[in-house]
Structure 1
Amino acid sequence: MDEFYEAFGERVRKARAAQGMNQQELGGAVGLNRTSISNIEKGRQRVALHMLFEFAAVLRVDAESLLPAPDGRSDVLDEVPEDVRGWAQNVLANAQKEAGRG
């Protein structure tokens, strides 16, 4: 379970950096202090489920994008810039549909 929270924290950190926010700003926006944000990003502090949606709203990402894959694999879209990630997800979904028809 520790790996899950470390991966979640890394995703929060990447999304925060992509928004140009520091830990203090993110903490203020979600009602936590900077130390808590640091601990979350390092996987040392677990968050309540409702906080997933708080983080996603403030970071302007889908809540799902902050969650690691259940089997521990990295998501192929992790390296895709956030502003085109939705487009890339649609392309992959359409390709999977087409593959299923063949």
Structure 2
Amino acid sequence: MDGFYEAFGERVRKARTALGMNQQELGSAVGLNRTSISNIEKGRQRVALHMLFEFGSVLQVEPESLLPAPDGRSDVLDELPEDARGWAQNVLANAQKEERRG
């Protein structure tokens, strides 16, 4: 189970940094302190289920995209250079919004 929370925390960190947001800003936006965000990103603090939607909203990603794949597969974004991930996440988020508008 620890690996699950570590992977979740890594996804939160990647989404946060892609937006240029620091831990304090994310914490304030979701109602947690900076230390909690740090612990979540390191997999040391578990998150209540309803917080998944808070994180998704603030980080401008679909909540399920923060969840690790059940079979342990890595995210395709992991294969991109760090400086291209934010751009790719924005493109995907915009495509998902357009798809929902349909």
On whether the aligned pair clears a TM of 0.5, the verdict is yes
Using the size of structure 1 for normalisation, the TM-score is 0.79
Tell me if the contact between 1:7 and 1:43 (Cα under 8 Å) persists in the aligned partners. yes
Segment of structure 1 superposing worse, 31-40 or 68-77: 68-77
Shift of 1:36: 0.2
**For residue 62 of structure 2, what is the aligned residue in structure 1?**
62
Find the aligned partners of 2:28 and 2:35 in 1 and give their Cα distance.
11
1:50 and 2:60 aligned: no
- Identical-residue share of aligned pairs (%): 80
Residue equivalent to 2:91: 84
Say if 1:40 and 1:47, in contact at 8 Å, map to a contact too.
Answer: yes
SS of residue in 1 equivalent to 2:51: helix
- Supply the distance in 2 between the matched residues of 1:36 and 1:61 (Cα, whole angstroms): 20
Q: Is the 8 A contact 1:77 1:85 kept in 2?
A: no
CA distance in 2, matches of 1:70, 1:11: 14
**Corresponding residue for residue 7 of structure 1:** 7
SS of residue matched to 2:12: helix
Runs of 4+ that moved beyond 6 A: none
1:76, distance to aligned residue in structure 2 (A): 2.2
Distance 1:5 1:70 in 2: 12
Greater C-alpha radius of gyration: 1
Q: Is the contact made by 1:16 and 1:26 (CA closer than 8 Å) also made in structure 2? A: yes
After superposition, the CA RMSD in angstroms is: 1.7
Structure 1 unaligned blocks of 5 or more: 89-102
CA distance in 2, matches of 1:77, 1:38: 22
